[in-house]
Amino acid sequence: MKSLRDHFLRIDARSLGLFRITFGLVLIADLFGRWRWLRDFYSNEGVLPNHNHLFNLRGKQEVFSLFHAFSTVGEAHFAFALALVAYVLFVLGYRTRVFHVLALVLLVSLTSRNILLENAGNYAAIAILAFTAFLPCGSRLSVDSLRASMALRDEKRDTELNDRSRISETEISAARLPGWSPTSLAALAVLLQIALIYLCTALQQSGEAWRDGTAFYYALHVDRWASATGAWLRDALPLGTLRGLTFGVRAMELAIPALLIVPALFRWTRGIAAALMVLHGLILGVFFDFGLFGWALAAAAPLVLPGELWDVYERSWNERRARTLVYDADCGLCLTITRLLKRLDLRGHLAFQGNAALDELYVRNQTGATERVPMPKEVTAELVEQTVIAIDRNGRVFLRGEAVTEALLALPFGWLALPLKLPGISHLLDVIYEVVATRRHHISMLLGKQACGIPLFGEDDVDDADVATGPAPAVRAARGALGGLREAAVLVVLAAMLAQTAKENPLPGAAAIPQGELLSAVASWPRMLARWDLMAPEPPRSNGTIVIDGQTRASQPIDPLTGEAPRLDPAAQPAPRLGQLWSDYLDRIRKQEWVDFQRAFRDYMAKGGPLAAEGGRERALQGFDAYWVAAPIPPPGAPAPAEAEIERGKLFSHARGGVSKPRLERRPGVPPAFLKPIQPN
C-alpha cells in the first residue's frame, strides 16, 4: 500500500522541481511567440480591441483576462515584460507557490484575451499548471529549496562539506524541509489529467486516415497546421516513414495512459511513459504548429518520473567527472560558494578541502566515502592563497578560471560549461576571477561573513533539535486544516475536469457526468475546456486559406497576409505563412459563429494588416476582398488538383474591393467552406 500511495498520491519532489523548470521554459517560449504579434492580437491596434472582444462575448462565454486592462501597444509590452519576469521567477523557484499561481493566472489571461487563438494546447497547459499549483514544485531544484538547505546546515569546515548524509524522510516530512512532497489527491489528479488527454485524443482519432496510416500525410499538407520543418519534411520523407509516424503517434497515445495506471513495476512503466511523452511531444512540436500542445505534454513528462529513477541517477557516479576543490578556508565567500556547489552536486562528484593542511588530498570514491591520497607537488600553501584549485582523479591541477570551469563540469548538465574552455572566453573568465579573488575578503564582509563564514550580524542557525522533534502542535493543527482545504479544492477542480472532459469528448460507451453551474464555472473561467480532438476524427482532406485581394492607395495589388500579390490558389501560397496564432485566428474568423468579430478584422486589414509596420502608410489599403480558397489534398501519389477543383468563395468586401475578379465556384455536392458574402461597407 505504501508503494501504491507513493506512486498514485505522491510525486517525488525532484520530479516536481524538474517539471517546474521544463514547463516554465515552455511558457517563456510561448510568451515570446506571442510577443512577436503583440500589436496584432493584444492591443487595440490589432484584430480585436479590448472593447470589441468584451462586447461580442457578452453573456456568451465566461472570460477573464488581466490583459484586458492594457490597451495601447506600449501598455501591452509592459504587461508582457511583467509576465516574463513572473515566468522567470517561476522557473528559478523563487517564492514558488506565489509565482506558480501567478504564472497560471497569466497563462489564462493570455488565452482569454483573444479566444480566437486558443486551442487544445492552451487547455492542456492550463489544466496541468492548475493541478500542480496544489503541489510543492519549489521543494527541490529551486532557489527556495537552496535557501532552506543553506539555513538548515551551515557548514564551517571541509569535513562538514564532505558529509553527504541525508535527513530521514520522516524528518523531511515533519519539518517540510527541502525534498518534501505531500500525499495529496492533487498528484492523482495530475496523472488522471495527463492520461485522459492522451486517451481521449487517441479514441477520437478514429477516421480512415488513422487506420490506413495516411493521417500524417494529410495533416502535413494542411498549411495552417504544418510547421516550417513539417512543410519541408512532408516532401522529403517517404510515405512509409509518414505511415510509421501515424501509427507510432497513435500507439503512444494509447500506451501512455496504460503505463501510468499499471499498479506495478513503477520504475519501468513510469520511465517508459515519461520517455514516450517526450517523444510524442517532440514529434508534434517539430512537425506541426499546434501551439502549446506537444511542448506542454513533453514538459510535463518529469511529473511521472518515480523516485527510484532519481535514486539511480544520483548513484550514477562517473570517475572522470570527480574533482577535489581546494579553497581558502579563511574566506567567507569561498566557503559560501563551496556550500552552494555541494547542494548542486546531486551525484557527489565533488570533494572539498580547505588549505589548513595540504599534506594529503581528499578524494571521493564511487561509494561516496572520502579517501586520502598524496597531494600533487605543485599545490603549495602560497598557491592556495592566490587561487582556488581543482584536482581530478589523475592528479591534474587546474587554477583560476579553469578551476571554476572544472567544478561546473562536475555538476548535472555540466556540459553547458564547455564553452568556458574556448579561447578568449577562458581568458575573460580568468580576468573576472582575478578581480573577484583579490577582493574576496572585502566581498565576504559585505555578505555579512568573516573568516570561515562565521556570521557577523546575528544570523541564527537552525536548531537540529527542532528538526528532530518537528513542528509545534499548533503548527501541525494549522497545517492539517490547510491541507484539508487543499484537498477539498483539488476535489472540486478534479470533478469539474472529469465532467468537462465527458461533455467535450463524447466517446462510445462513456457515461455523462452531471456538471451543474459550479463545475461548469470552475472549468470555463480558467479556460480548462478539455477539448482533446486534435486531428480528430482525421485530418481534413482539403487545404484552405484566407486570401486578401487588396489594393494599396497607389492601386497596387497586395495581400497584407503575405506582403505579395494575391494568389487565389492554395498551392501557390507561401508555406508556412504567419504561424500558429494567425492560422487559428484566420480559420475561425471566416466561420459563421465568429461573424461578430469580422468588423474589427476588416478595419485592421484596411490599415495594412500584420505587415503594416514594414511599409507604414504605403501598406494601407483603400479596398480589398477577402476570399476563402480551398483545394483538395491529392491522395499519396496522385497529381495536384486541377483548376476546376479549387473552391473560391468571397467572405466580405471592404470599401471598393480588390483588383482581381475571380470566378467563384465550388464542386457540385460539396458544401461550401465559406460564409455567404457580406455586403460591403
For the stretch 59-92, pLDDT in tens is: 778 889 999 999 999 999 999 999 999 999 999 9
Report cis status (omega within 30 of 0) of the bond before 576.
Answer: yes
Query: In terms of domains, do 506 and 387 share one?
Result: no
CB atoms within 10 A of CB 431: 10
Whole-angstrom Cα distance, residue 143 to residue 596? 47
pLDDT (mean) for 51-56: 87
DSSP secondary structure letter of residue 180: -
In a domain, 193, yes or no: yes
Cα-Cα-Cα-Cα torsion 530, 533, 534, 538, nearest 10 degrees, comes to 180
Is residue 526 classed as helix, strand or coil in its secondary structure? coil
| Same domain membership, residue 548 and residue 403 | no
Q: Are residues 7 and 132 in the same domain?
A: yes
pLDDT at 533 over 60: yes
Q: Are residues 284 and 339 in the same domain?
A: no
Residues 385, 429, single domain; the answer is yes
Burial of 635 (0-12, 13-18, 19+ CB in 10 A): exposed
Return d(Cα 29, Cα 298) in angstroms, integer: 14
One domain, residues 514 and 423: no
Report the 3 state secondary structure along 350-406: EEEEECCCCCEEEEECCCCCEEEEECCCCCCHHHHHHCCEEEECCCCEEEHHHHHHH
Cell, residue 615 = 511599409
Domain assignment present for 179: yes
In a domain, 280, yes or no: yes
508 has pLDDT over 50: yes
Q: Do you know the residue count of the chain?
A: 681
Q: Is 290 in the same domain as 194?
A: yes
What is the three-class DSSP state of 306?
coil
Residue with cell 561509494: 367
Is residue 662's pLDDT more than 70?
no
- When pLDDT is cut at 50, 70 and 90, the band that residue 256 belongs to is very high
- Average pLDDT value for residue range 456-465: 46
What is the arithmetic mean of pLDDT over 161-188? 85
Checking if the pLDDT of 430 tops 70, the result is yes
pLDDT value at residue 459: 43
Quote the pLDDT of residue 497. 95
Question: What is the separation of C-alpha 662 from the centre of its chain, rounded to a whole number of angstroms?
Answer: 44
Which residue(s) pair with 631 in the sheet? 543
Does 447 have pLDDT greater than 60? yes
Structural domain range at position 456: 319-461
CA distance 451 to 356: 13
| Short-list 256, 116, 579, 31, CA closest to 23 | 31
665 occurs within a structural domain: no
Instruction: For 276-316, write each residue's pLDDT tens digit.
Output: 999 999 999 999 999 999 999 999 999 999 999 998 998 88
Mean pLDDT of the chain: 86
DSSP E strands: which ranges in 7-110? none
Cα–Cα distance between 166 and 6 in angstroms, integer?
19
Least confident of 47-61, 111-125, 191-205, 646-660: 646-660
- What are the grid coordinates assigned to 202, written together? 487517441
Same domain, 67 and 190: yes
Region 507-521: what's the mean pLDDT? 81
Q: Are residues 213 and 119 in the same domain?
A: yes
Q: What cell does 673 get?
A: 467552406
Alpha-carbon Rg for the chain, nearest whole angstrom, is 30
Specify the pLDDT at position 84. 98
What's the pLDDT at 188?
95
In this structure, are 212 and 71 located in the same domain? yes
Total domains in the chain come to 3
- To 5 degrees, how large is the angle CA 580–CA 540–CA 647? 95
Give the least confident one: 110-124, 196-210, 350-364, 413-427: 350-364
Q: What pLDDT digit, counting tens, does each position of 91-102 carry?
A: 999 999 999 999
Q: How confident is the model at residue 501 (pLDDT cuts 50, 70, 90)?
A: very high
In the predicted structure, residue 665 carries a pLDDT above the cut 60: no
Compute, in degrees rounded to 10, the torsion defined by CA atoms 191, 192, 195, 199. 180
Rounded Cα distance, 283 and 235, in Å: 17
pTM metric for this prediction: 0.90
441 in the same domain as 348: yes
Q: Which amino acid is at 131?
A: F
What pLDDT was estimated at residue 532? 94
Backbone region of residue 49 per phi and psi (left: phi > 0; alpha: psi in -120 to 50; beta: other values): beta
Same domain, 195 and 102: yes
If you average pLDDT over residues 137-160, what whole number do you get?
Answer: 91
